[in-house]
């Protein structure tokens, strides 16, 4: 029975590939970068083989069974990738940041934020500058010491730069070189 089921599975392997490929194409880009299509196909195929003992001839075609199991496994995978918890130990919490004004033109707001970030970088210690340049380097490490976090909080508060504006200016500077 098991060898017969394996032969049927191999004849329906195209269904597994089709379901996995459709699922992979619909993934958001940030998840697609983590998941290789061939690995996804292999994972789904192994799952179908693992549950193949549940298949009954009287309940439907083997191709329908393989399609349903593959699609269900994709749904379970999507929950696994979409509900990953964020590592909050690497986030910088800025409690007393100034609220973002909504009635100001975004370009004017960006220019004001850039001036604020420039004054923050002028006043920043070498340790804070090193941590920020390390953040935007190829390594992208976010290991900030508590002293650096406190310094960054106090400087953003004193220069009246919201965390969102601070982040936008630094990312723009990193992208533009």
Name the band, by pLDDT with cuts 50, 70 and 90, for residue 87.
low
Domain range list for the chain: 2-82, 89-176
Task: Tell me the two tokens of residue 58.
Answer: 């009287």
Task: Tell me the two tokens of residue 156.
Answer: 């953003």
Q: For 59, what's the count of Cα atoms within 13 Å in the CB-facing half-sphere?
A: 8
Which of 86, 84, 93, 89 shows the shortest CA–CA distance to 142? Answer: 89
Name the band, by pLDDT with cuts 50, 70 and 90, for residue 1.
low
Task: Tell me the two tokens of residue 21.
Answer: 């490929």
d(CA 103, CA 146) in angstroms, rounded, equals 35
In tens, the pLDDT along 109-162 reads 777 777 887 888 888 888 888 877 776 665 656 667 788 888 888 887 887 777
Residue 19 CB contacts under 8 Å (≥ 6 apart), including other chains = 44, 67, 70, 71, 74
In tens, the pLDDT along 7-39 reads 666 778 888 889 888 888 888 777 777 778 888
């Amino acid at each position: 029975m098991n060898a017969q089921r394996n032969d049927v599975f191999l004849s329906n392997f195209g269904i597994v590939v089709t379901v996995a490929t459709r699922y992979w194409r619909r993934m958001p880009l940030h998840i697609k970068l983590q998941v290789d299509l061939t690995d996804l196909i292999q994972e789904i195929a192994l799952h179908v083989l693992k549950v193949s003992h549940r298949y009954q001839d009287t309940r439907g075609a083997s191709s329908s069974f393989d399609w349903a199991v593959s699609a269900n496994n994709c749904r379970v995978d999507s929950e696994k990738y979409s509900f990953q918890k964020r590592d909050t130990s690497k986030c910088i919490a800025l409690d007393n940041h100034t609220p973002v004004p909504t009635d100001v033109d975004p370009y004017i707001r960006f220019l004001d934020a850039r001036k604020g970030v420039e004054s923050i970088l002028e006043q920043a210690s070498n340790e804070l500058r090193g941590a920020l340049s390390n953040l935007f380097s190829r390594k992208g490490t976010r290991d900030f010491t508590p002293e650096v976090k406190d310094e960054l909080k106090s400087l953003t508060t004193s220069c009246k730069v919201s965390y969102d504006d601070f982040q936008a200016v630094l990312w723009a500077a990193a992208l533009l070189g």
